[in-house]
Chain A
C-alpha cells in the first residue's frame, strides 16, 4: 500500500513537471508581455530594458531552470500586472474557488446520485423522463445564460438573494447552482446508466430472492457496486469545478482562481499563470490519489499492488 502511494506520488511529481513545462512554453508562445505593459510610444530600448527586467530575454530552457529553482523554494516571482508576489494572489483566490467548488460539488453529488438512482429504479416512468429531460438541459445550457437568468429571477425580481459578490453562505447559492448544473446532469446520467447495468445482474436478483427489501437492494447492494465509475467521474468533476469556474466567476464577480489565471493569460502575466497552474495541478493530483483510496473502500477487489 505504502509502496503504491510512493509510486503515485512520484508519478504526480513527474506529471506536475510535465504540466509546468508545457504551460511554461505555451504561455510564452502567446506573446511578449512587453507588448502589453509598454505604452504606445515605447522605443526598442524600452522593450529591451523591460525584457531584461522580467528575465525573458534569456533562452527559454535557462528561464525554465530558473523557474524550477525558484519554485522549489516557493518563489513564483512577481506579477507584472499587480506588482505583488504571484503566489500571494493565487492563494487568496484558491480559497474562494475551493469554497465555491465544494458547495457545487456537494450539490451535484447529492442531487446527481439521488436523481440517477430514482430514475434508474423506475425506468421509463414519469420521474425517469423528468430526470433525463433535466439532465439534457443541465448539460446543454450555457452557464452564463443560466447565471444571468438566476440573477434576474432571484435577485432582481424576487429580491431574495444577492446578485453577485462573495458574502456569507447566501451569496454562494446562485453561483454554486450555476456551477453545479453541468456536473449534476453528468453525475445523474452516469449514475442512471451504471445502476441500470447493476440492477440487471444476478446478484441483485439474488438479493431480491432472498427477501431483502427494495430500499436495501437499491441503495446498499446496487448503488455500492454502481459507484466505482461514478466516483471516478466525481473526482474529475471536482477538479473541473475548481479550475473551470471562469464563466461563473465572471458573471457573479466571484474572486476565484479561474478568472485570475485567464486574465493573467490575456495580460501575459507569466508568473501568475505559472503559480496558478502549478497550484491547480497539485490540487488535481491530490484529488486523483483521493479517488484511488475511495476505490479501495468501495470495492475490496481493487488492490494496490
Chain B
C-alpha cells in the first residue's frame, strides 16, 4: 500500500478514536439502576482467574483484590499496616517472622479464618501459581503456633515478603468442601466485597459483604465490564453505560476532562518504567563502554517525549519516587544535550557513530510502546547512532531479555524496567540490575554486592543508605535509561468520588474506594 493512502487511513482512524472520546453527552437513559448503590466499571483486562491465590498479572488483581485480603498492607506513605495479620515480629536475624492473625474473621462461605488457611494459601500458591511462587522461594517452612498464630521461617532474610503484602488468604475448609473446580469458579475471600458471578469474556459481579468487620463501604453492588478496546471503553463512559473506567488512554485524557459531566483522577503508580537497557557483558559492543551509554542518555529528549507522546502525564524520575525507601533527590534524569552526546561518542572512539539493533516488545502493559521506541531511534539517529528497530511479540521479547546474559549478547532494548514503584527497591534492583537477576541484562560485581547486602538488611535506615548507594551506581554507570514512570488515569462521572489505592498495577479499582454522591 502506498504511504499516502496508509497515512490517510490512519488519520481517519485517529479522528474516529478522537470523536469516540469527545462525543457530546446525551440524555440519561431511562430505567437506570439506583446509582446510590450500584457502580459499573469498565477495565481493559479480564482476570485470568477469579481465584485470588492464582492472581499473577496486573489485571487479575483489579477484581480479586476486592474480595481477597492479604496478611499486611501498605499505607500511601509506604508504611506497613495490619491486614489479616494484626501484628508481626521479625526476628533480629531477619530469618523468621511471627504473625498474629485477626480474630473472628470469616470467609464469605462462613468458614473461620485461621493459621491453617494461611499455610494452605501459601502452599497452594507454591504448587499452582508459577508466577507468584518464585517470590516464596525464600520460605524454608511454616509453623502453626495456634489458631491465630504462625511463624514463617526463611532460608535467608527476605525483606520483600512483607513489602509484597505477605500472601492473599483463601479458605482451606471451603476448598475441602467444594473441590478444585468450584473453588476457582466461585471463589471466597474475607474482603469487604464478595464474588457473585463471572460471565467469561463479559463481566464480573460483586456485592458488599455486610458481615465485614470495620467500616462498611458505601457501594452495595458493582459490575466490572472487560472492554479491551480503549476507544470503546471511553465511549462506554461517555454514553453513560458505566460510571468509571480504568486505564483511560493518555491521548483522550484532556478531552474527557473537558467534557461536561466527566472528570479524571490520576494516580502516580510510577510503574512500569519503560527504559533503555543494555547487555554490557560483551566487550566488543560500543555500549560496554560507560561513555557510550551516557551519550545515549544525553541524546534522548525525554521531556519532549513526555509532552508529545505521553501528553505530559507520566513522571520523569531519576530512579526512585520521593515516597520510596532510599530516595535520593540528587539523582536526576540526564538532561537532553545532543552536543555532549556527540562529544562523548567521539571520546569513546565513535566520532561517526555506529549501527545497532534496538529491540522492543509489543505489549499493552504501558501506553505508546511503538511510538516510544521510534522516538528513541530517531533521537539516536540525530547523534549518529543508527538504531534498527526490531519489535517482537511479548513472549518473544521476554525470552530475548532472559537470553541476553551471555558474553556474546548484543542486546539493547526498550523494556519495561523496574525502577520506581516496586514492592521494595531491593526487589526491583535485584530483578533488573544484579548479574543473576531474572530480568537483568546488566552485570556489575560491585553493584551485586551492594544489592545483596541491602536485601539482607532488616534495619530500615541502614537499608535506605545501602539502596541510596546502589542507585547511585546504577545512575552513574548508566546501567539503564529510565524513559517514563507511568501514572494511572481513571475517568468517571462527576457524581463519583474515587480515591484509588496505590499498588503495582495500572488499573486497580477497589470498590471500597468509590463513593456515589
User: Given A83-B184, A159-B29, A253-B226, does the pair A42, B134 have CB atoms closer than 8 Å?
Assistant: yes
Whether B135 and A39, one on each chain, are in contact in the complex, defined by CB atoms closer than 8 angstroms, is: yes
Residue pairs across A and B with CB atoms within 8 Å: the count is 158
Whether A156 and B200, one on each chain, are in contact in the complex, defined by CB atoms closer than 8 angstroms, is: no
Which A residues touch B54, using CB under 8 A? 83
User: Given A41-B439, A83-B49, A159-B27, does the pair A250, B229 have CB atoms closer than 8 Å?
Assistant: yes
Whether A148 and B231, one on each chain, are in contact in the complex, defined by CB atoms closer than 8 angstroms, is: yes
Whether B438 and A152, one on each chain, are in contact in the complex, defined by CB atoms closer than 8 angstroms, is: no
Which B residues touch A252, using CB under 8 A? 232
Whether B236 and A164, one on each chain, are in contact in the complex, defined by CB atoms closer than 8 angstroms, is: yes
Which A residues touch B200, using CB under 8 A? 89, 92-93, 255
* Residue A290 lies at the interface, judged by CB distance under 8 Å to chain B: no
Whether A266 and B394, one on each chain, are in contact in the complex, defined by CB atoms closer than 8 angstroms, is: yes
Whether A157 and B23, one on each chain, are in contact in the complex, defined by CB atoms closer than 8 angstroms, is: yes
Contact of A266 among B181, B185, B201, B393 (CB under 8 A): B393
Whether A83 and B236, one on each chain, are in contact in the complex, defined by CB atoms closer than 8 angstroms, is: no
* Residue B130 lies at the interface, judged by CB distance under 8 Å to chain A: yes
Q: Please give me the residue from chain B that is nearest to A39 by CB atom.
A: B131
Whether A145 and B48, one on each chain, are in contact in the complex, defined by CB atoms closer than 8 angstroms, is: no
Interface size class of A (residues with CB under 8 A): 35 or more
Within 8 A of B (CB), among A15-36: 30-32, 34-36
A50 to B129, CA, bound (A): 10
A82 to B399, CA, bound (A): 22
Which A residues touch B13, using CB under 8 A? 142, 144-145, 148
User: Given A145-B16, A163-B235, A253-B226, does the pair A35, B201 have CB atoms closer than 8 Å?
Assistant: no
Whether A37 and B134, one on each chain, are in contact in the complex, defined by CB atoms closer than 8 angstroms, is: no
Shortest distance between the CB of A248 and any CB in chain B (Å): 10
Whether B402 and A152, one on each chain, are in contact in the complex, defined by CB atoms closer than 8 angstroms, is: no
Whether A82 and B202, one on each chain, are in contact in the complex, defined by CB atoms closer than 8 angstroms, is: no
A61 to B108, CA, bound (A): 47
Whether A148 and B438, one on each chain, are in contact in the complex, defined by CB atoms closer than 8 angstroms, is: no
Which A residues touch B432, using CB under 8 A? 40
Whether A46 and B29, one on each chain, are in contact in the complex, defined by CB atoms closer than 8 angstroms, is: no
* Residue B132 lies at the interface, judged by CB distance under 8 Å to chain A: yes
* Residue A149 lies at the interface, judged by CB distance under 8 Å to chain B: yes
* Residue A165 lies at the interface, judged by CB distance under 8 Å to chain B: yes
User: Given A83-B49, A152-B19, does the pair A41, B131 have CB atoms closer than 8 Å?
Assistant: no
Contact of B20 among A34, A148, A268 (CB under 8 A): A148
User: Given A40-B439, A148-B20, does the pair A46, B231 have CB atoms closer than 8 Å?
Assistant: no
A142 to B228, CA, bound (A): 18
A50 to B49, CA, bound (A): 18
Shortest distance between the CB of A198 and any CB in chain B (Å): 36
- Contact string, A135-174, partner B, CB cutoff 8 A, digits 1/0? 0000000101100110110011111001111100000000
A215 to B229, CA, bound (A): 47
Whether B402 and A165, one on each chain, are in contact in the complex, defined by CB atoms closer than 8 angstroms, is: no
Whether A152 and B202, one on each chain, are in contact in the complex, defined by CB atoms closer than 8 angstroms, is: no
Shortest distance between the CB of B441 and any CB in chain A (Å): 12
Shortest distance between the CB of B265 and any CB in chain A (Å): 22
User: Given A40-B438, A41-B431, A255-B200, does the pair A151, B20 have CB atoms closer than 8 Å?
Assistant: yes
Contact of B398 among A36, A148, A159 (CB under 8 A): A36
A166 to B399, CA, bound (A): 37
A164 to B236, CA, bound (A): 8
Shortest distance between the CB of A156 and any CB in chain B (Å): 4
- Selected A-B contacts with CB under 8 Å, 11 pairs: A40-B439, A83-B48, A84-B185, A144-B13, A148-B232, A158-B26, A159-B26, A163-B235, A251-B232, A253-B229, A266-B393
Q: What are the 8 A-B residue pairs with the smallest beta carbon separation, nearest first?
A: A255-B201, A41-B438, A156-B23, A40-B439, A40-B438, A159-B26, A35-B399, A253-B227
Q: Which residues of B contact A (CB under 8 A)?
A: 9, 12-13, 16-17, 19-20, 23-24, 26-27, 29, 48-49, 51, 54, 56, 128, 130-132, 134-135, 181, 184-185, 199-203, 225-229, 231-232, 235-236, 238-239, 241, 393-396, 398-399, 402, 418, 430-432, 437-439
Other contacts beyond A142-B9, A148-B16: 10, CB < 8 A:
A35-B398, A39-B130, A46-B134, A148-B20, A152-B19, A156-B19, A156-B238, A159-B27, A165-B202, A251-B231
